[in-house]
Structure 1
Amino acid sequence: MPLIVWPNRYPNHPNDLGFPFPPLASDTVDMARSGRAEQDLLRLCHGGMDREGVRREVLRALRRLIPNDAAFLATADPETLLLTGAWPDEPLGTVTQLFLDNEFGRDDVNKFATLATAARPVASLDSTTRRDRPASERYREIMRPLGLGDELRSALIAGGQCWGYLCLHREDHELGFTAAEAATLARVSPHIAQALRNTMLLPGSPAADPALRPGVVLLADDLSTIAMTPEAEHLLSLLEPGQLPLPVAVYGVAAALRGLERHPAGPLPSTRVRTRAGPWLNLHASRLAGPPDAAHITVVAEPVEPRAAVPLMLSAHGLTAREAEVATLVLRGNPTRTISATLHISAHTVQDHLKAVFDKTGVRSRRDLVALLLSPPPP
């Protein structure tokens, strides 16, 4: 009886027995094409694109490298690991809130925050569940109804910090992502992470507009909007629009609050989001006290003071921990001798670190560094 092999729906995919197909002349062509696709992707990642360019061009190039039927790209606050923005392909955009509830309030495999702290930040559903996809609630309740099967997830790590998340989906078919494709994603993910990190350094200022005032959004437990102050409406209008009524960062902190209530641990959820004009906002969620039918979720949006945004901006510039310490002390007006005594390093070492800070931030002096990170935006 002849061996029956599943159709090779994706390039270089193993057959149903897990063995690679015998090398053919066409395989060499496929490998060369794959190598070019990867180099094209890396060039895009380091091309200085804005966030929309990263979303559009990088995902397009990634689809040529790792064929997929839908992708989800998100940015994250590297300190809290909560979402600050999200760009889902269809049909994923119709179930974003279900994904958020699963991500922050349910026990499941390959959670983004788990991958962000794992030794290997890339994993597929099939590999983790040993091809038992229904073992995942996310697959049972969200993906299978959409006709989606295996997913390949990655936390986007650059400089030891997580700047976003990526998830690739394939239609619900027995063949999922291969180990080779997972290895490819692990190889290119740091470059995608750096592209996202670099978008934070595009023109704009981290300084807060003095005209901006904190605002409040009131949400029901199903995350529908009950009320919003005019200040909150204005602040949220400064963020990048998405497919949901409100920016995904609002739903992210609210979903994280509900998850925290199910499994109490840690502080109330918050995240920092950069506006399109440059200034940063802080979003944090809490439960409104009152009768059970009125205990709604409140999300407070408030401008971030310039100095509070400095650590995030220094991380975005790729500074090491020691370089960031030196830069922070410079921003406080400390001379080299004080920095040397505070950090217990020589004055020569301080100057070496400061030179590295200047190189990475693109400035030439302490005054320029202060102007870059603390000066108010031009009128």
Structure 2
Amino acid sequence: MIRSGGRPLRELLAAAGHGVDWAEAGAALSRAVSAAVPHDAIRLSGGEPGALCSFSFWHGYEPDFGQALLNACHTGEDPHRWAEFAAWPVPAVVVGVDRRHTAARRLFAGHGVGSELRMVLRDARGVWGTLGLLRSAGGRQFGEAEVAAAARLTPTLVAFLREYVTAVPLCPASPSPAPGVLVVGPDHRIRSATANAVDWQRCLSARHAAPPWTGKAFFAGLSAATRSGGSPLVVGPAASYGRWIACQAERLGDDVTVVIQAATAAQLLPSLCAWYGLTDRERQVVGQLREAAAAKQIARRLELSVHTVNDHLRAIFRKTGVHGRDELLTALSG
């Protein structure tokens, strides 16, 4: 187990579920990871790297550089995208050491950065997030030994992300604001926002305690991803935002509109099953619950015994931390 300042990372996991803020978590993670891979800055993000990560922790990044780095990643001005090496045998790469990394080297030089180690956090169940580590210019660059050491941290970091997401109650403590809409222009900057969207931004920033530039970079990324085709959906956990939220982007002429709202059942269910470890069969049972089916009806529809259905229900309630079907359905209703 990696240790953070003399205490197990397990203690940090417990703290993460009880209001630890963005800066505190980032600093503690940095101390923990430094024991295995010394670095000057760290970013740990949760979510599928083929899309935008839905929550993250940063430490040691100068704000202008952090925003510029994210913008470069989102707009394709980057030598290695996370999704490109997610399937590699060792899903990690060192950026900034190859002379072909022209844009990255230029960006790094302007901010005193020497190299960056990037790694996708992947296990047999899928991809859970990404890790980025920086070293300052003039210091030793990351090498193969550090890549191997970082790869050995994967199980612990995946455990941190999963426990962070699942440590808080699934149901929000207060009613959700009404959906809000942002309009993002061709320059990837927010042009306008409804009053509800402003309320959402205020609510989210207050809960997560992240600096404003991370939000700007996030919406710029949604804008860039939408202009590349598709309609990206990002679902964020209650641990970061007080409730499970969804940001859905659509192209509208030269602009991109982003709807921010409490995640609907359809939006939430895939993330819920992944983070809480629900099986395919348990997901089917949850789907039947959403249709207000009783245990006997679920058993008949899925060709199971009532006893087996009740076993699945108990497992679902235990994994998600709810006290029964009503509380689960409340959580799924946003």
TM-score bracket for this pair, using the shorter chain length = 0.7 to 0.9
Alignment-derived partner of residue 235 in structure 2: 272
1:82 CA displacement: 0.9
Alignment-derived partner of residue 18 in structure 1: none
Q: C-alpha distance in 2, partners of 1:59/1:271? A: 26
Structure 2 residues without counterparts, runs of 5 or longer: none
1:154 CA displacement: 1.7
1:231 CA displacement: 0.9
Q: C-alpha distance in 1, partners of 2:76/2:176? A: 40
The one of 37, 43, 58 aligned to 2:10: 43
Q: C-alpha distance in 1, partners of 2:8/2:273? A: 26
Question: Which of the two has higher C-alpha Rg?
Answer: 1
Residue identity opposite 2:272 in structure 1:
M
Residue identity opposite 2:282 in structure 1:
E
Residue identity opposite 2:16 in structure 1:
M
Residue identity opposite 1:212 in structure 2:
P
The 5-angstrom pairing of residues 160-179 of structure 1 reads 160-173=125-138, 175-179=140-144
Cα pair 2:169 2:321 within 8 Å, conserved: no
The 5-angstrom pairing of residues 45-60 of structure 1 reads 46-47=13-14, 49-50=16-17, 52=21, 53-60=24-31
Q: C-alpha distance in 1, partners of 2:297/2:174? A: 32
RMSD: 3.6
Alignment-derived partner of residue 297 in structure 1: 256
Q: Aligned pair count?
A: 323
- 1:79/1:187 CA distance change after superposition, 3 Å: closer
1:232 CA displacement: 0.6
- Please state whether the residue corresponding to 2:110 is helix, strand or coil: helix
- Please state whether the residue corresponding to 1:66 is helix, strand or coil: coil
Cα pair 2:246 2:267 within 8 Å, conserved: no
Matched, 1:374 2:329: yes
Cα pair 1:205 1:278 within 8 Å, conserved: no
Q: C-alpha distance in 1, partners of 2:265/2:172? A: 4
Alignment-derived partner of residue 288 in structure 1: 252
1:209 CA displacement: 6.6
1:58 CA displacement: 1.9
Matched, 1:315 2:286: no
Alignment-derived partner of residue 188 in structure 1: 153
Structure 1 residues without counterparts, runs of 5 or longer: 1-33, 290-294
Question: TM-score if structure 2 supplies the norm length?
Answer: 0.79
Cα pair 1:257 1:268 within 8 Å, conserved: yes
Q: Deviations over 1:334-364 (max 9, x none)?
A: 455554554456666555544543443345x
Alignment-derived partner of residue 29 in structure 1: none
The one of 64, 70, 74 aligned to 1:100: 70
Cα pair 1:42 1:188 within 8 Å, conserved: no
Cα pair 1:208 1:303 within 8 Å, conserved: no
Alignment-derived partner of residue 238 in structure 1: 203
Alignment-derived partner of residue 33 in structure 2: 62
- Please state whether the residue corresponding to 1:249 is helix, strand or coil: helix
Q: Deviations over 1:122-170 (max 9, x none)?
A: 33237xxxx5x23124522322222212211122346724333210011
Identical pairs, percent: 26
Cα pair 1:283 1:300 within 8 Å, conserved: yes
1:216 CA displacement: 2.0
Q: C-alpha distance in 1, partners of 2:128/2:257? A: 26
Alignment-derived partner of residue 217 in structure 1: 182
